[in-house]
Structure 1
Amino acid sequence: MKKVMSVGLVAALATSILIPFKTPLVSAEETLDAKSIVSEMTLEEKVGQMLMPDFRNWKKQGDKMAVGFTEMNDEVGSIIKKYHIGGVILFAENVVDTEQTVRLVNGLQSASEDIPLLVTIDQEGGIVTRLQSGTNLPGNMALGATRRERNAYKTGEIIGKELSSLGINVNFSPTIDVNNNPGNPVIGVRSFSSDPKLVAKLGVQTIKGLQKQNIATAAKHFPGHGDTAVDSHYGLPVVSHDKKRLDEVELYPFKQAMDAGVDMIMTAHLQFPALDDTTYTSKKDGQQITVPATLSRGIITDLLRKELGYNGIVVTDALNMKAISDNFGQEEAVIMAINAGVDIALMPAQVNSIEMEKNLEDVYSGVINAVHSGEIPMAEINDSAERIIDLKIKRGIYEATDQNVDKKVKNALRVVGNKEHVKAEEKMAEEAVTLLKNEKRTLPFKPKKHEKVLVVAPFKDQTDAMARTIQELIDKKRIKSVDVERLEFENKTFTEETKEKINEADYVITGSYIVKNDPAVNDGVIDDTIQDSSKWATAFPRAVMNYSQSQSKKFVLISVRNPYDIANFEEANAVLAVYGFKGYTNGRYRQPNIPAGVKTIFGASDPKGKLPVAIPSVTNKGETLYPFGLGLNIKNNKPLK
């Protein structure tokens, strides 16, 4: 492949001063055209564009173990060059601080000699964030609780500004799965709602906010990961709904995202027999399984491409997830995905050292050989290469820039995690807090000077977040000076020592962190006599609730993750949901959600959120404990309008 490059750009690349977005395969006078560019590419170059590995960790020759890959090196550079890699995905291990991230991305782009890389990341906001110095934001379900489109747009805008300043050009976001299964272990608060229309409305606004900053977006996980009870990182879930139901619920947000011009669709490693009942003999156990969406031509080509008319990029979810890796061979999975109609194979082979390069080589050679043998039609490769190059042109990734890398670092330091972004995320989190119960005028807490508040949560970062927020309220003279005691309960049982801490307290705040409800229920009653350490997530906070209220302590339960766990605390006098569990670590709040809940508890802000999902009862199967849309006014205990 020939490339035209200005003398100035060549000199800049030689000294590593400029951000190395290369001049494309046309002269400066010509208009960039994907078809023309692809026509000059070799098969090897086209296949390389379709592979997107991660270098999450790296072991240099001579080192004993792999560590987070944070600084560009010649070994990784040689792999990018040799296989004509079209893109990479970054993880938290790669993006530890702002300046380091800018320089790493710059180095990765330098290694791609002809065509600039798609540099991608999962910066969803909320519980799935990678930037260790970025603004985390309250997350999708919190946005669903606010019901405000402007919050979704602002989320996309903030994330987009931060990613763009770092040189990252693709965000694998938003998650537009409709979370209608309370037992879903992997989506939960990553979803906006159980209502497909609310999911679509907020998802589209997030896309627009990201794209305004020229960040390519990827809606996930097609055809819908919301109604599963198995995590596809560890197993192969089945979604058994018929086509009519899928059209009305799961597929609805994806249709809206496509109409809004989403750049990519990310696939789900799920079985959808109603969409494609093709079977495959699992390499794991020899059992017959339904081909998952990621590898299904019936779903990717017939449904997504033809029926729904989508012509953007289709990218797989990570191919190292057990739903794929346990059941399909490494090379075969990539070949099946391409034949299904997928454009980019994400994380197709593990490569964390130069010694492991063969894993990628096997996949790369396997695809090329499959094209030569006719197993993969050349038309599939050409179509995918054109879509990828077209996106790089559309999002300005192909354009050369004369910006000095040091200037880019300086700009990123102004943008990433700045005060304006933090203030915006705090406001959104406060608007999301949802009050569901407030009997006996429990809230707001109005402690007297030197009274004691006991904060209880599974993990130290969560109790730190609660305690620090209380101290900030004291410092701002929003509440009287109080004493704060902390208690973490991960893997613990309720003891006499815990009772003593409660006895000494005047107020008790307990955070509930349950991914999937698993209480011990006998005859419609939760059995509180069971002290099974495996049930600590439900048993311990229930014991705290029961004992605190028996001693006439002011008690409030905060659901800090999936709000469905509130059903385990039906007897609590006061209950609220904040939709985010990350606390305070390494000198900063990892999410604004817990502080927002604590502010509400002490009357420093009013809860404005409404449930974006319905919460079913755990003691009366089939009944709804708290309905979709419920949210109480803290002043009069009436539903918000």
Structure 2
Amino acid sequence: MQASKTRIFYPLIIIFTFFTANAFAQKESYIQLLGKQNRWVDSVYNKMSRKQRIAQLLFVRAHTNKGKMYEDSVGQVIKEQQLGGVVFFQGGPVRQATLINKYQKLAKVPLIITMDGEWGLGMRLDSTISYPYQMTLGAIQDNSLIYKMGQQVAYDFKRLGMQMNLGPDMDVNNNPNNPVINYRSFGDNMYNVAKKGIAYFKGMQDAGLLTSAKHFPGHGDTNVDSHFDLPLLPYSRARLDSLEMYPFREAINAGISGVMIAHMNIPSLDNTPKLPSTLSRPIITGILKDSLKFKGLVVSDAMEMKGVTKYFPNGEADVRAFIAGNDIIELSENSDRAIGLIRKALRHGSVSAAEFEARIKKILLAKFWAGLNQYKPTALTNLSQDINSDAAKTLVQQLSDASVTQLKNNGPKLNPFLKTAIVSIGVSSPTVFQMEVAKSFPNSRIFIVNKDAPALEVTNILNWLKQYQQIIVGIHDTRLRPQSKLDYSSDVKLMIADLASRKNTAFSVFANAYTIAGLPGLEKAGNLVVCYQMSPELQQSAAKVLNGRLKPTGKLPVSVNAFFTTGMGL
């Protein structure tokens, strides 16, 4: 009797799954909806004054870690100006969801709520999950995992009451010393960047979230941070077309809903002196919209950044960004002033009435696609549990396991019964890595080496380690963002070179892959694994490799030096 029940039950599951999957797949993408008449969009547009229509272009900054006075001042701006959206920054998830509900009540037309979430909510919010950085993801060979991550990130965003993620980053990071992109990129191979970026945004969009590939036409080969000054991109149009723009072209062909413009001066695309690409009509309208046929939302990078305000102060940047073709003008220094200047530009015919109408309707259509035509407040019950689910944590571990990259494996095989030293460098207390490794090496001792340990201490530890038959070393970067060069003292770097020359030592690097280039001698190590960042999950992944429970499958997403180049991995 039980067996016959089972035979009936499984087909029902298959039928149900088929119908739900089909229903999900049948939802038209935002790009597919563009150009089709929409009654809700037309109705909302027709009820608006010109000032209210202009306000839809502007997205204001919001935080939940700056106190009630700051929150109320943002609310007052939303109420008075009826802006198009809000970009959230640092704070906490429950506080943010509560504030989103409050701000939406103040808006006659629901706001698009967005945030930079390249590695999920954890990029901005405490008490939330951080997925691996994009450079870490760049090592993964199974892009379906990145698609799943996109779906989970979309769920987390929507659960908080957000409709758009200002990601993924689709810059090709071909400058190891890039101060602003770097680990935020999938790597220096444009094909890998395109495939990973598409998998990520498709996961998000298929789960109902608007996305924005950034930073067009490509911020990967700059040595200036556009938050502080205007970077110069001195390359030819042919080079930019064939390299920097490649991932964006592929993303557009794959149906990306939004593209964010970088603040960069690019003479080969627009020779206006000191003009950021954000303010260039030849770049935004001429290349992105006309040549590349992008029909979706064009989003400016933050208009408060020095890369744009340094040469175009007092609201001139805002009105130029509008004339250039941006649909969303993000984080104007003064949105009220921006509305006035854009009204004046429209009166002077700087943008045609037809183009203006199309751009405002494009924003309203994004709101419709995201479900804001039937807006419901965010439910606060079980919010923290929902965005920190076991399934999401399992996915973070899967992504971490899949990214681990073995660069060297010609040393002696580790023996769990030998006398073992487990050393973590760059830290001040025992690490997850050490605790996990120690479980499989019962005859072991833990050593801690601070990043600026004095010469005498380094010498003493090196002498002490001579007593051990095998040494397992973790190299850690404890800084909030993993930079290209480790801030270790020269004595500690010499210690790493000394240990690498010993045949019985295995290394795991929990730092930006580029840091390996600044550790001369590490290429001599018999066993070398790169794990890209110092997350607990990646430390657990490395421990699994060392005790034989995980076969590393990652491939290096960037070229580190002549010894370790893009695509390497055993």
1:53-95: per-residue Cα shift (whole Å, max 9, x none)?
Answer: 11237xxxxxxxxx5258995443221010111111111x23x
Question: Which of 199, 215, 218 matches 1:221?
Answer: 215
Could you list the runs of 5+ residues in structure 1 that have no partner in the other structure? 1-29, 58-66, 280-288, 350-358, 518-534, 584-588, 617-623, 633-641
Contact 1:512 1:559 in 2 (8 A): yes
Indicate the residue corresponding to 2:398 in structure 1. Answer: 427
Range 139-148 or range 308-317, more displaced? 139-148
Question: Which of 505, 515, 531 matches 2:483?
Answer: 515
2:287 is the counterpart of 1:336: no
Indicate the residue corresponding to 2:302 in structure 1. Answer: 318
C-alpha change, 1:550 and 1:414, in structure 2 (3 Å) is closer
Indicate the residue corresponding to 1:639 in structure 2. Answer: none
Three-state SS of the structure 2 residue aligned to 1:254 is helix
Three-state SS of the structure 1 residue aligned to 2:87 is strand
Indicate the residue corresponding to 2:422 in structure 1. Answer: 453
| TM-score (structure 1 length as normaliser) | 0.75
Contact 2:509 2:532 in 1 (8 A): no
- Residue 139 of structure 1 aligns with an amino acid whose one-letter code is Y
Contact 1:452 1:504 in 2 (8 A): no
2:446 is the counterpart of 1:484: yes
Shift of 1:473: 5.1
Note the 1:354-503 alignment, pairs <5 A. 359-375=334-350, 377-401=352-376, 405=378, 408-441=379-412, 444=414, 446=416, 448=418, 451-457=420-426, 467-472=431-436, 474=438, 477-480=439-442, 482-489=444-451, 492=452, 494-503=454-463
Indicate the residue corresponding to 1:167 in structure 2. Answer: 161
Contact 1:469 1:599 in 2 (8 A): no
1:446-474: per-residue Cα shift (whole Å, max 9, x none)?
Answer: 3657x5422112x55xx65xx22432455
1:181 and 1:607 map into 2 onto residues whose CA distance is 26
Indicate the residue corresponding to 1:62 in structure 2. Answer: none
| TM-score (structure 2 length as normaliser) | 0.84
- Residue 435 of structure 2 aligns with an amino acid whose one-letter code is Q
Question: Which of 268, 272, 290 matches 1:306?
Answer: 290
Indicate the residue corresponding to 2:54 in structure 1. Answer: 47
Question: Which of 184, 187, 197 matches 1:193?
Answer: 187
Contact 1:548 1:555 in 2 (8 A): no
Three-state SS of the structure 2 residue aligned to 1:409 is coil
Q: Runs in 1 of length 4+ with deviation above 4 angstroms?
A: 69-74, 373-380, 549-553
C-alpha change, 1:44 and 1:541, in structure 2 (3 Å) is farther
1:336-368: per-residue Cα shift (whole Å, max 9, x none)?
Answer: 11111011111111xxxxxxxxx4433333333
C-alpha change, 1:312 and 1:278, in structure 2 (3 Å) is same
The alignment covers a number of residue pairs equal to 524
C-alpha change, 1:390 and 1:420, in structure 2 (3 Å) is same
2:43 and 2:363 map into 1 onto residues whose CA distance is 13
Three-state SS of the structure 2 residue aligned to 1:220 is strand
C-alpha change, 1:181 and 1:161, in structure 2 (3 Å) is same
Three-state SS of the structure 2 residue aligned to 1:193 is coil
Question: Which of 496, 505, 526 matches 1:554?
Answer: 505
Three-state SS of the structure 2 residue aligned to 1:125 is coil
More helix by share: 2
Three-state SS of the structure 2 residue aligned to 1:625 is coil
1:480-533: per-residue Cα shift (whole Å, max 9, x none)?
Answer: 2644232331xx36421233234334435242647345xxxxxxxxxxxxxxxx
1:330 and 1:501 map into 2 onto residues whose CA distance is 59
Range 374-383 or range 308-317, more displaced? 374-383
Contact 2:327 2:359 in 1 (8 A): yes
Indicate the residue corresponding to 1:60 in structure 2. Answer: none
C-alpha change, 1:538 and 1:601, in structure 2 (3 Å) is farther
Three-state SS of the structure 1 residue aligned to 2:138 is helix
2:521 and 2:494 map into 1 onto residues whose CA distance is 13
Question: Which of 127, 130, 138 matches 2:132?
Answer: 138
Indicate the residue corresponding to 2:516 in structure 1. Answer: 565
Three-state SS of the structure 2 residue aligned to 1:273 is coil
Indicate the residue corresponding to 1:577 in structure 2. Answer: 530
- Residue 137 of structure 1 aligns with an amino acid whose one-letter code is Y
Indicate the residue corresponding to 1:528 in structure 2. Answer: none
Indicate the residue corresponding to 2:31 in structure 1. Answer: none
Shift of 1:263: 1.4
1:98-148: per-residue Cα shift (whole Å, max 9, x none)?
Answer: 433321221221221x11111111111189812322221122222221121
Indicate the residue corresponding to 1:611 in structure 2. Answer: 556
1:564 and 1:127 map into 2 onto residues whose CA distance is 27
CA RMSD of superposed structures (Å): 2.8
Three-state SS of the structure 2 residue aligned to 1:615 is coil
Contact 2:417 2:442 in 1 (8 A): yes
2:358 and 2:554 map into 1 onto residues whose CA distance is 45
Shift of 1:173: 0.9
Shift of 1:552: 7.2
1:469 and 1:108 map into 2 onto residues whose CA distance is 43
